[in-house]
Amino acid sequence: MRPPPPRLSAQRRPPQPSGGNLLAPPKLKSPTPLRPPPSAAATLRGPAPRGNAATPAGSLTTSTLAPTQRSSRKVILEPGHSPLDWAALVSNPKNNLRGAGLPPNLIRVTPSLLKSHHGRKGVDAWTSYNGKVYNITPYLPFHPGGKGELMRGAGKESDKLFLEIHPWVNWEGILGECLVGIMVSEHEAVGANELDAMD
């Protein structure tokens, strides 16, 4: 038979689970004060992954991956190329981030036109995502994964690569100002290459 637990005044003692004589850990109010507010850069990304009670949304302190699988492939960006610097660049309408020599309207881009924008020999690098074509050249020095990684999508469709690596990144939020046009099949680009002119 167990000895009776030490007597404590009923007022001072929190309710105990039956059979337990350990004091409950102090209760934290809410996790919010422990977390810093989201950075301006974070607002350019998509919504934070949703968590559950064990892994609250936004908590990145735990991972189910082995340490070797977790190593980040982010690069150190040159000074002046932070996400905030990019945000400042895109917010200035004087910066033409679509590239020189394009009409103000969106253009029709055939697979061969996309392929010709490979990013070499002074030619801008274009890539497509969800059927839209973007000039990625101005974003190259700002890409947190490095220029080389981003260039893997140059001259071709990037949907698969992008979604494999960071499906949470808000593509349109970051590259919206670099939108060049939309993908069409090879024979659809007839006449003037301006979308308005067709309708």
Q: Which residues bind ligand HEM (CB under 6 A)?
A: 72-74, 143-145, 149-150, 152-153, 158, 161-162, 165-166, 169, 171, 174-175
Strand (E) positions, the chain? 107-109, 126-129, 132-135, 179-183
**Which CB, 21 or 43, lies closer to ligand HEM?**
43
Question: Cβ 90 to ligand HEM, closest distance in Å?
Answer: 11
Q: How far is the CB of 123 from ligand HEM (least distance, A)?
A: 17
Q: Which tokens hold the place of 76?
A: 């150190």
Length of the chain: 199
Closer of 126 and 171 to ligand HEM (Cβ): 171
Cβ of residue 180: shortest distance to ligand HEM, in angstroms? 13
Comparing CB distances to ligand HEM, the nearer of 103 and 111 is 111
Minimum distance between the CB of residue 30 and ligand HEM, rounded to whole angstroms? 25
